[in-house]
Amino acid sequence: MSKRNKVIYWIATIWLALGMLSTGIAQLLKAKNGQGGLDMIKHLGYPAYLLSLLGIWKVLGVIAVVIPKFPLLKEWAYAGFFFVMSGAIFSHIASGDPINQIFPALLLLALNFISWYFRPLNRKIVLTNSKPDK
């Protein structure tokens, strides 16, 4: 992996981790205002208990993405981040929210893709071309 790709990976991964961790903690605390808060989740039409579930998943996803090894777990975490952020984008669009409320989810979705795409080989699932036993 080139130095350029490592730098891109780590910048995207650190920003992704910080974004997911901060929103996850805010959701666990059920913050009244701000990103991922109680008012927003109700505005989008979801029940308040969803905040706890999203918060737990985000914090666990961050741990999975930043720890070494466990490539399958990382794939699941990246997929989970994709589903959560694309769901947030869709929910904001369906609610008629302006772009400034959609942008944080768009940014985290982009960081998720960049981090996933540029991850080092030791953080990827490597499929071997082995022949099955007869």
Rounded to an integer, what is the distance from CA 106 to the centroid of its chain? 11
Domain assignment present for residue 53? The answer is: yes
Domain assignment present for residue 34? The answer is: yes
Contacts 24+ apart (CB under 8 A), 100-107: 104/19, 104/23, 104/35, 107/19
Domain count, the chain: 1
Domain assignment present for residue 129? The answer is: no
Domain assignment present for residue 130? The answer is: no
Provide the residue range defining the domain that includes 107. Answer: 3-123
Domain assignment present for residue 131? The answer is: no
Q: pLDDT tens per residue, the chain (134 residues)?
A: 799 999 999 999 999 999 999 999 989 887 655 555 788 888 999 998 899 999 999 999 999 999 998 999 999 999 999 999 999 999 999 999 999 999 999 999 999 999 999 998 888 888 777 666 55
Domain assignment present for residue 105? The answer is: yes
